[in-house]
A and B are shown apart, each in its own frame.
Chain A
């Protein structure tokens, strides 16, 4: 497999804050990546670095084998759809779609028109008079119809309702099947997108803390629930990712269990329950900040 993005020791500092801290990873060609993490974890900065919008403090970035900064041949193959993207004051959606054709070599105008109908985007109303969801839909349409070999969606659906988000996922999958490309999707709606992702990158406080195929992560941890004494006896010296308890009951998140271990746990009267990708990431990104965990679960 060939990589479209290769990053080594990438760091971006703002004063004393390292927004991206010594990140090393690759993005393989024609896969859908999830770039997940809490607000302020460094997702947007990382994507801005990959598209030459932000400048690295240290480390190296290769996009299609080259440094992306001020590199027109590289950048014309990228598309970056940002949360709350600013649009020129006087633009209407039709101006956005017309002009997109001049910049994206693979732009599909028919597809964009079809999507505009499906997302119910009014073509001849000023961008600033559109609802938050309609503005997001315009961004989503540009990102899909650009068919850029490397497309970034940074929290693309502020204000989009559940129906419109599902439409986005469906069209993304369909078009990706017909026109494979590398897609990096940054979101906090992890449960919604977890089935779309082939690979997951989790960033926390600027560091890449998970870099794994989505299927490997699934089932990589288990929740064990039961009488505290039985739970403690069962987990023994295993690493505990998370622990909750009420009275004599305990709920503990630990690593994957073999079928034999699962059987043993059941025999010991313990309940095993799956841990979703979202819960897994919450466990891993809130190790030292238990209080904020509920906030993320609420916002997610």
Chain B
């Protein structure tokens, strides 16, 4: 766990990551709050807060008496959301670091192409 941010946000992101990677398929049941808490060694209330965040966003939904499931279309929506954030989360820091080292935008693009084909 990252110390700088609320744990429940990190738990939500972790579940999102599992949905994007396909580890948690759509319409499959996700572990219970208590299972998450025990697995991640966090307070069950915190785990519950993370799960509820995803329920509020419609990524997960509750089946009464059975448990929590991944909603249909959840993956596509999460991918769209992550794409929106990609620029601020990854590209901008990359450019800032490149600028510090005197790497131009063209050189950066070249580096990316090289890494991709490697």
Which residues of A does B touch, CB under 8 Å?
31-32, 169-170, 173-174, 176-178, 195-198, 214-216, 218-219, 222, 263, 266-267, 269, 273-277
In angstroms, Cα B49 to Cα A214, docked, is 13
Contact of B6 among A173, A174, A219, A273 (CB under 8 A): A219
Do the beta carbons of A215 and B4 come within 8 Å of each other?
Answer: no
Which residues of B does A touch, CB under 8 Å?
1-8, 33-34, 37-38, 40-46, 49, 88, 92-93, 96, 100
Do the beta carbons of A195 and B41 come within 8 Å of each other?
Answer: yes
Do the beta carbons of A275 and B38 come within 8 Å of each other?
Answer: no
Contact of A177 among B3, B4, B44, B92 (CB under 8 A): B44
| Known interface pairs A197-B43, A215-B7; 17 further A-B residue pairs with C-beta atoms within 8 A, sorted by A's residue number | A32-B43, A173-B42, A177-B33, A195-B7, A195-B41, A195-B42, A196-B41, A198-B45, A215-B8, A215-B46, A216-B6, A218-B4, A219-B4, A219-B5, A267-B96, A274-B4, A276-B3
Contacts of B8 in A (CB 8 A): 215
If A170-B41, A173-B37, A195-B41 touch, does A215 touch B100 (CB 8 Å cutoff)?
Answer: no
- Whole-angstrom distance between the Cβ of B87 and the nearest chain A Cβ: 12
Among residues of B, the one whose C-beta sits closest to the C-beta of A178 is B34
Contacts of A198 in B (CB 8 A): 43, 45-46
Do the beta carbons of B38 and A174 come within 8 Å of each other?
Answer: yes
Among residues of A, the one whose C-beta sits closest to the C-beta of B5 is A219
- Whole-angstrom distance between the Cβ of B38 and the nearest chain A Cβ: 6
Task: Identify whether the interface residues of B are mostly helix, strand, loop, or mixed.
Answer: helix
Nearest 4 CB-CB pairings of A with B: A274-B4, A177-B34, A215-B6, A276-B3
If A218-B5, A274-B4 touch, does A173 touch B49 (CB 8 Å cutoff)?
Answer: no
If A266-B93, A267-B96, A274-B4 touch, does A177 touch B37 (CB 8 Å cutoff)?
Answer: yes
Contacts of B2 in A (CB 8 A): 274
Contacts of A263 in B (CB 8 A): 88, 92
- Whole-angstrom distance between the Cβ of A2 and the nearest chain B Cβ: 15
Contacts of A32 in B (CB 8 A): 43
Contacts of B49 in A (CB 8 A): 215
Do the beta carbons of B3 and A275 come within 8 Å of each other?
Answer: yes
Do the beta carbons of A196 and B3 come within 8 Å of each other?
Answer: no
In angstroms, Cα B92 to Cα A176, docked, is 43
Contacts of B41 in A (CB 8 A): 169-170, 173, 195-196
In angstroms, Cα B49 to Cα A219, docked, is 17
Contacts of B37 in A (CB 8 A): 173, 177
- Whole-angstrom distance between the Cβ of B30 and the nearest chain A Cβ: 16
